[in-house]
Structure 1
């Protein structure tokens, strides 16, 4: 069995403690990245504007024909495509570099995956899970290479399911609408190495958002 390093153990408990798992904060974590690397070219009133939250969320990428941020789905967000290596359309941004670091890119991806909120969900909101919403242990666990993550929902709600590796990097993301009373999401990790992974589910029901309890799962090959 693989031995966890002290850093991995610390990260593991950070994920499992709902009160210590803070969401990405747009004004504190994301806007400074845009200010430092993007606003000099994308801070006007025309085209893509990254000068503030409202401008970012209402910007449409002409090359893509859609809004640059798709809440809950970084992989479908043109903003992410343009800041990562080898974008599908055009050249990588910031044009000519220096490019964003991997940590900055991961932060932007995580912000979008969490719903691209302007204000981070408070720890109180995260801890207040309404009755009937509950995580179910994934099965099988350990698994190779597929497992099913399940959770209950008494009412139809939107969900975002994120899977992270032991160092906190987002490696899988799913979104959709819950099935009553139980939602099942099949996760295939054939391309990933053996190890411990952490998953969590964000539920949006009406005007409320909250996280279900984070869980760990083990991929063995």
Structure 2
């Protein structure tokens, strides 16, 4: 299955999930309406297709970001957040690759040295960077160092996976919270003023800070 096919399938699945409650209500309503004899005039359907519910829905926003990270932010019209989400996921994904690549090669080098066959020892391996590749040589490492470093990079890789999952979860939470605040009214009747203050005192330390004033008209 190529990317375009998978993408179209995900969009159709999302549309089905979001439209399922509306279809259920429509079918239930049809069961309660008595049958009427249709006249000769053509009745035009007023129903239109909506990928998302007409009323802004936090549930729809969360589900959208769960299926495709950033889609809920687009639904909330917070488009500027989408590059941040993907930059975070891409960064975490790179560190997953980086740490597990070094871990697996250090672990393999340690295993081969334990076999005692120097002909099969792993002497070097390459790690990919954005600007190129780096070759890491293992001849200068003792077996104990290989074991210790492999454990360190394994833990770093596990931490990168946790961070990636955290970014994914925050992407969903952010979409839900923004959807709740989507129609929040911030009018001229509500204002917040921030003002610094400084109070010199004789023979005492001077005092300073910020004064927050919330005004509701």
TM-score, with structure 1 as normaliser: 0.22
User: Going by fraction, where is strand more abundant, 1 or 2?
Assistant: 1
User: Going by fraction, where is helix more abundant, 1 or 2?
Assistant: 2
User: Of the two, which has the highest radius of gyration?
Assistant: 2
